[in-house]
Amino acid sequence: TAAIAVNERDPDLWEDILSIMEKLVPVRGDYRHNAKYGWIPSEQNAHAHILNCLIKPSITIPIENGLMLLGTWQSILFIEMDGPQTRTVQVHVMGE
């Protein structure tokens, strides 16, 4: 489970975001999903599914003259919530 966001390009802010995510939805919380699949280590990931409901799994970024229109300090963040794992990111470019 992963998500994509646009936010400021600041590693300290990224650490703050990860810290808040862990406080809101602890990895080792008491989740029925995890209990249901207790014998499957890869399914101890209820926290990731819950976080995915709070963070968008996709974003839209306008493009002008072949360039993404991001703010001066903005970056695209890939947020891994259940990994590390090999992921595939899809990019769709749509015309006007």
Closest alpha carbon to 26 in 14, 11, 41, 44? 44
Q: What is the pLDDT of residue 44?
A: 86
Domain range summary for the chain, segments of one domain joined by +: 2-80
Query: What is the DSSP code string of the chain?
Result: -EEEEEEE--HHHHHHHHHHHHHHS-TT---HHHHHTTT-GGG--HHHHHHHHHS-S-----EETTEE---TTEEEEEEESS-S------------
- Low-confidence stretches of the chain (pLDDT < 70) are none
pTM given for the model:
0.75
Q: What is the pLDDT of residue 6?
A: 94
Q: What is the pLDDT of residue 69?
A: 95
Name the CATH superfamily for 2-80: YjbQ-like (2.60.120.460)
pLDDT tens-digit readout, 25-50: 998 889 999 989 888 877 889 999 99
